[in-house]
Every structure is written in structure tokens, then in C-alpha cells.
Amino acid sequence: MTRFAANLTTLFQELPFLERFGAARQAGFTAVEYMFPYPYAPEELRDQLRQHGLTQVLFNLPAGDWAAGERGIAVLPDRQEEFRDGVARALTYVEALRGAQPPLVNCLVGKLPEGAHADEARRVLVENLRYAAAELKKVGVTLLIEPINPHDIPGFFLRTPDQAAGLIAEVGADNLRIQYDLYHQQRTEGQLLDTFRRLQDKIGHVQLADVPGRHQPGTGEINYPFLLAALDRDGYDGYVGLEYIPEGDTVSSLAWMDTLREGVTA
């Protein structure tokens, strides 16, 4: 049965961030994810989770200067010390936010700088992922890597799940998995279900949004009732993160879930 996690970065933007936890619980969610916890003290976020009976599913490693356009630093040879400091910082949040299970931690690998050599970037990326996976494994945490479509983030180094699977094989860490975002996959290659089935043993988390617009299911071309039912039948038992930008207000945007009410829980 599909378990949904509200992504508090994209949902409930009508409210200040710390108020989104309560809004998610009121809307029926028992799990949340978001991109970055770092603007807030770990205790602030932990208190929101406990107050509203929520499970923290996922957050990202620090990803450089987001406002300046950086989308991760794991491929940057001159930023390895900063990357390792980011892993240590993420671990303090893991300990504060873990419930019965620790949250997943996603690594946005970053954009290849102009003039950079792809082979050198991959070498640095593999080294960084080995380090991060080893540190996270000490506390029972799974590290994710996420392919991003080239339309939303031109120059992003990791574009497809097959590229991610190749990295996983090269890194050789048993706690490294793919964050499979159905929106990015549709924009890059399509073949959503076939790709999921081929790589299911390497997928650690699923996210969704419709195409085009990155809005809620039902606003675009993806047949989400069919797709989510297929993931259930294929044995996917992780959370599905709702990382979409609501068309309209957030609560109204959740009406699509009514079509999945049989056999689906929020």
C-alpha cells in the first residue's frame, strides 16, 4: 500500500516553514520530507516532528550556494573538504530527526563546471560518495543519489537512473541507492515503469510530480493511478515523496489522492 510523504519544501508554501509540519498532519500525512534542514536548529525540527506525530523520511546533504545557482558540490575537485564537512553536518540532523528508522539522506551531485573534465569529476564524485556512504553507514543510514533532468538543471552531472546504477556499482557501497523521481525521469527518458522494474533493487526512494509544470498528479500526462498501483504490485514498500508545486492551494491540490483511496493510505 502506497505510503506518501509530504515534501514541505514544495507543499504548503502558503505557510512559514515550521508551520507546514502541522498543516501536513492536519491534511492526513504521517511522514514528511524536505530539501534542506540546515536553516533551522535540529531541535526545532525534532520538536515539530514529535508535536505532530510525523516521521522524517528524507533530506539532502548541503549542496553549496543554492542562491548562487549551485546544485551540489560532490563533483567539484576543489570542494572535497567542504563536502566532508557537509556530511558531518548532516549527521547531526540525522541523530536529532531519526525515529524508529533514520531518515534517508540524498546527495545532489552538482553541475559540471564549464571547461571541467568529466573523467576527473567522476573520480571525485566516486571518492566523495564512498566517503559519505561509509560515514552514514555507521549510523544505519542509506545514501541516495538523484538523477535530474537537463531541462530543469542544465549541466547537472547525473541525468539518468542507468548512470546512477553505474555509479553505485563503481562506489561499491551497500547503502547507496537511487532516488527515483518520476518527474525527472519522464522529462528525460520516459519509460517510467520499465526503468523502475529494471533497477528496482537499486532504488531507495521514489518522488513524483506531473509533467509539464511539475504540479500535482492529474494536471499533466503521467497516468499516476496506473503507475502507483503498478509500483505497489511490484513490491515497492518505501515512501513516495510528493515533491510537486501545487496548482492552486496545497490542500485543494491533494484532491487527486481521492482517486487512489482504495488500497492507498496517506
Q: For residues 129 and 124, give the distance between their C-alpha atoms in angstroms, rounded to a whole number.
A: 9
CA dist 215 to 146, 166, 231, 248, Å? 19, 30, 20, 9
pTM of the predicted structure, to 2 decimals: 0.95
pLDDT band at 266 (very low <50, low <70, confident <90, very high): very low
**SS3 of residue 90 by DSSP:** helix
The three grid cell numbers given for residue 250, joined into one nine-digit string: 496545497
**Do residues 156 and 71 make contact, with C-beta atoms less than 8 angstroms apart?**
yes
The residue assigned the cell 573523467 is 119
* 3-state secondary structure (DSSP) of residue 176: strand
- Longest distance between any two alpha carbons in the chain, whole Å: 52
Q: Please tell me whether residue 185 adopts helix, strand or coil conformation.
A: helix
Per-residue model confidence as pLDDT tens digits over 106-162: 999 999 988 889 999 999 999 999 999 999 999 999 999 999 999 999 999 999 999
**Do 124 and 74 meet the contact criterion of CB atoms below 8 Å apart?**
yes
Q: Give tens-digit pLDDT for 89-112.
A: 999 999 999 988 899 999 999 999
Mean pLDDT over each residue of the chain, to the nearest integer: 96
Whole-number Å distance between alpha carbons of 103 and 71: 21
Residues with active-site annotation:
146, 243
Alpha helices for the chain (secondary structure H): 20-26, 42-52, 80-97, 118-137, 161-171, 182-188, 192-199, 224-233, 250-253
Compute the average pLDDT of residues 1-30.
97
Q: What pLDDT, on a 0 to 100 scale, did the predictor assign at position 261?
A: 61
pLDDT on residue 259: 74
